[in-house]
Amino acid sequence: MATLVGGIEAGGTKFVCVVGTPDGEIKDSVRFPTEAPEQTMANVFKFFDQYDVKVIAIGSFGPIDINEDSATYGYITSTPKPGWTNFDFVGAMEKQYPGVKILWTTDVNIAGYGEYKAGAAKGHKNVLYVTVGTGVGVGYVQDGKFFQGFSHPEGGHMLPRRYPGDEFKGVCPYHGSCIEGLTAGPAVEARAGKKGHLLAVDDKVWDYEAFYLAQACATYTVTFRPDIIVFGGGVMKQEQLFDKIRKQTAELLNGYLDTPNMEDYIVHVGLGDDAGIKGCLLWAGDNL
């Protein structure tokens, strides 16, 4: 039987555990809601206890500690999520599975890795992955490595200029009207009074959405300088957003610097909802 590797897409609302081949073929998976760590990890162990894997890659909700020199490497850090603050995720896995290599990064990085290896960004060197879902997260894969500095990017928390006349306050508990506070799923719902998938494709909400996400793309362009920006997450299933975002990003940059063609530059996730779990398997496979 072929070697199997494992992965965990640890989201703030649900966990997905997966085993599969090192080239990303899913053999088994399970999903369950994110409860307190004790119950959640019991579900994780129940799944992986069935398999003999050499590597498990984790893409976790955050903020997380990814600094290998840190005493709290492998921890979820300052999340407001009950019970998870300062939870030693990697430590818990290593204790349960001694001898198994545990890889650790953010949920957005791992989805970006999936896109880089096998999705919309295949063949690109500098891949920025942006999810617009429950929150707005940014992961950056450069030459197969995850970009980080003092910690991982939190590129959803920039303050955009406001759409003229838009007085919606935004829902980010820290920044109000940052990109996440204005464009993530809960912002769409708070603004429109219902979930985004229930709105018409020409609802005014999508104009706001594109206006703010184009500013995010322009700022990512002058900072990260990616080859490609891949958008995933529930909100970005609204395909009508893409052309608006491309057009406005180009207008904002105004020809100042070279970018790829906007059609090739700002694109939809290729692996759909599997970007994260495929990313886990592929990253684990590359670290066998």
Q: Which residues bind its own copies (CB under 8 A)?
A: 63, 77-78, 125-126, 138, 142, 148-162, 174-175, 215, 218-220, 222-227, 252-260
Minimum CB separation of residue 116 from its own copies in Å reads 13
Of 49 and 258, nearer to its own copies (C-beta) is 258
Q: Which is nearer to its own copies, 94 or 227 (CB)?
A: 227
Q: Of 210, 268, 205, 215, which is closest to residue 244 (Cα–Cα)?
A: 210
Q: How far is the CB of 267 from its own copies (least distance, A)?
A: 15
Cis peptide bond N-terminal to 260, omega within 30: no
Q: Minimal distance in Å, beta carbon 152 to its own copies?
A: 7
Which is nearer to its own copies, 17 or 136 (by Cβ)?
A: 136
CA–CA separation, 24 and 14 (whole Å): 21
Whichever of 47 and 146 has its CB closer to its own copies, that residue is 146
Helix segments in the chain, DSSP class H: 37-48, 89-96, 107-118, 179-183, 185-192, 204-223, 240-253, 262-265, 275-286
Give the orientation angle of helix 275-286 with respect to helix 107-118, to 10 degrees. 80
By the 10 Å C-beta count (0-12 exposed, 13-18 middle, 19+ buried), 109 is classed as buried
Closer CB to its own copies, 76 or 93, in the complex? 76
CB of residue 41 to its own copies, shortest distance in Å: 25
Rounded least distance, CB 278 to its own copies, Å? 23
CA–CA dist 95, 110 (Å, integer): 23
